[in-house]
Structure 1
């Protein structure tokens, strides 16, 4: 296997950090810290064997045996892969050897009951997975695909991401695993699933090495227009920096480990001379592969693969070496390795400087650094807290994890100085305000159709599941995306209908006054004197008030107007009909009283008319006073009368009192009609009975027609209907009662004589 630049730099970070600690008089003074590097070659069996080598101190694996004759093993750093770290942690945990990983992120390793001596300088995948899920949701990607490595790292991480995405209400279209055990990693199947999917965003929870075949298959099948969300294991890798993958990976976003600076490390690399490197196979193998030439002075070692045919020159050995090192990849992994070495050194330093009574042990005693036990150094690793020269604080929580800190990385093509819109990855387009989401049978919750809100309801945000009603005084806008104040409706003076009715009422009220003036001018004539002049004047005044009473039904229905308009209408009409009743009775009594020995002579006096008028009007007054006292009318908003309109109207308080008022007026009119009907054939040239009959008949027809008409209308038209009934009935009485008299006075003066009255033509 080829030794990558990142791996090579990790080796030099161990060398550099160890030298830095040994030169530092403040950490482990007079003690030299050493290290051993073991390569498992990514083989699980060799990892287990190497772990047992380190624990036993022998060149072969002997379980449950320790014989470290020379240097004491203080701690183990590794592995970089979670699966390997789990295996190591099971073995090292038995002897309580501290183990610090600089790259293993599986959340399983946070379980202290299984792995009591495991620590790490990288955050757990539990934090990364939740963060990646929030990153996906931040961009509004509610329809995503998931691809993970089929090992502890991938399976644990992707499950947390899936749970977080589903918990937020988003959906996962597919979940696929890269099967490491299969020859082709199951790559063709995974690529086909991604190509056929409608999800634009795909979360890749894998290492760079295992994701590489997937990218090659994408390119072969021309899979484009997908946005990748990267886990930290490949988000900053240098393997994908070639032009081959640049367009496919453009826009990739993901998490990366916190990148810190290692002071002096670059200078350390600048002073490395490949000629002076230790004669180690991996050293020379790395440089021969990197430079593409063979080092002649390293010919006695056996290499696992064929060496380059060209021999290296001095220029190759020095200049190319430094040029290659300037292509440094991200220092994120090496920085975490650097932190792990210093954490172990600090724990050893604290153990060495222990004072009796201040130790971390139960009996407060101190241990000897030259004869330390694994569990003793473990106690100090748990309590490590120090600040590196880079400024970073190192400490572990109860689970052996560091503070979760990540960088967010985004891959973009540098030459293009343009901004790209954030891609959309949804199953269904968002429902705009005014619409709600409706589920589609057999589809996930993220797949839906947008349905307009029903009448009277709105939504003011996108992707709302339910519409809601506006407040009682508001109504949805045309787009149904906000509530607007309902238009207020009442019969106002400003609108055409109100102006027409008001003008008609005022103009009509002047006609009875004009007739009154005519009667006053001709009050000495027979036709005026023969028809109870005083009552006729009172009748004309009441008719003028009847016309004017309709004005109380126009304008904004405030409390005073609601309180008095029906009462005013009832009183003036009661006065008017009472006057007609009085005139009708007096006509009947006058003719009956002319018979000999008639008892009606005592009722034929003029005062009798005023008694009838007063009594009939007083009864209406009692009805009105009772109405106002027990259940008076009041203004109210009626939001059920018309859809989308707020009708301001008067609530009559007691419908019974209202219909009693109308009914009483009808009763007076019926009595007047019956009496006048009986007296219509009495011999008199100026007999008013037949005119009263027609006037009361017209009055009754108008108000009987008003009842169903008022019940079938609402809002301002109910008030307009009552005004129309008032004006119509008033005009009916005025015309039927006084039109014939005015015609005789003005156009037939010969009929306005005593001879005509007595029937002597």
Structure 2
């Protein structure tokens, strides 16, 4: 028994009772030239002990070079000296999505294969024979154990294989599957059969090429395009097409100005030499008088033509390129490699492309739109596809310095040009979609035939009991089957068939029977109580639509209105002694800042966005600092005024508005500087917290720097403490209306609120943390408003006889 030492770079696996294998064509391995300076060593063989217990010799490691190359690509860091690199065709990722979407529909449809789930295992062929043979052998081997021609257990319930995209890839797959009698459904053109590959069987989902040839001929005759060029691939399939098309077109009066063969991509073929040959071909096409070019070839042929026409020969006149009419077969649709993402594909402005039949499926469009690299479990293609399609990188995939744009996962697939990725289902994708349904309906017909009790045997010889036999118990088990919501735990000292079923631990689930381990839900979901499925988390934030949010907003609006009324009263009675006492301008500034404090609480309610996140803490900190600075200035004014009344006091020069204004300005300036420093270095931003609460996703404003947040609070607390101390010392100064004692009470309330805020804030979670801060803002602001201004309003409105200068001045006893 051996494990595969070089697992494929790209694969996508989903478990199920029955598995469908898929050979996709998504990426190309591009090797650098190799120089041989010495004779290679003799072939190496190694002894392996298989699960049968027999010790035999393995085959020569034919895939060693390709495996090493793929291993190297895992680092994602390439230099000019690298031996290989990987370049993907992002448009082909839709083929994978079409298969996943079809399997999802079938599994959710109770009328097809009830109580039987379909799974799949997708591997990338990398467009090469070497890798196609290798991954095909992986499909028919025991999972996670590459033992060719052996299956050590019954977990690999493979029933069919879908692939490949190009004719040669399909032929390589068929050569392996033919020995095992596993059905193969291909979604590209039929491979060429020769003496070496007689009698290979497969089911072709795409229409026959003869119909397409007749359509191209009819198009040429319709527009009287009788002088044309022909481009094919330099392989068996291209040779067959020339032998078929040439006499057919010639008999109808079509003449060929040239017939060019583009070299086929292979792993050992150097990419630069191959493209250099393609460049010569394109140069000949451009110089020809034939303005119509018919292109037959593999799926990537137009990407190679684009390379030669646009990149390798910059001296080409692009106007000549645009003047050509390109006629493409359905197989050679307009695609682009990742490095051609930003190229001007207008050079193929006159392309007429035949297409396989497709269908517009709205559900598929929604499925593709919802695809996101952050919540797609098991998909080994999506990360590379996302990086290549959008020209960015994910930070968690690199250990070295990152160069280029960072992938957020929020990029929109709709923004990609059609040559890179299409949102609507293409012909190839629709063929894959139909292939999956063909397999499902065939299995359903077998299982629902009139012989309900007969057994269904797959192509590997593994026996599957139908639902009726399953319910009958013709079963022989050491342990009961573990239901979803539990996992297996092997019993010590007993065979692996004997196990206990244990419930999934908290935070994990299992949605299949007899699983070895439970797994965690993605960040945006949480386990249900049974532990057998994941439930989407609810979005949580302090909203205007809930009782708590609307209550706090109502309180903030009410206090804002009260503050505005108090300000109006003071402006109306601005010439009265009680308003003029202790600097009337400071009183106005304090009332305005309190009004803004109440309004700033509204920034904390509602959906967090970038603007509100930037303003929440900074606006609150600056406005509150202005308010407390005004209180400190008023307190200082009271103290200095009484100290200046002493004979010969030197404090008289400090009494006046200039000192008060200076205190407000400089104290507020320090807080503003802290906030500017905060915004410049680590500004707050909208964020989603998926970990704090199990059943909710919290939309919040990430403070960016917790240290700066507490610096703002700390400075505000420092100002409040100083103001409280000064007011406390001045509370017994003689005066019928000594404002210092009211300021003492107000600052006592202020400090009490914010001292209780910190433990309450730290012990709260989600929207309740925001609610605690809003309550603290409203409570401390209301304390200042009530303690300082309610006595003054009482005298102004209800006891106007006390609002006289002689009543406000009283000498010491």
State if a TM-score over 0.5 links the two structures: no
Structure with the greater alpha carbon radius of gyration: 1
TM-score range, shorter chain: 0.3 to 0.5
**TM-score normalised according to structure 1 size:** 0.45
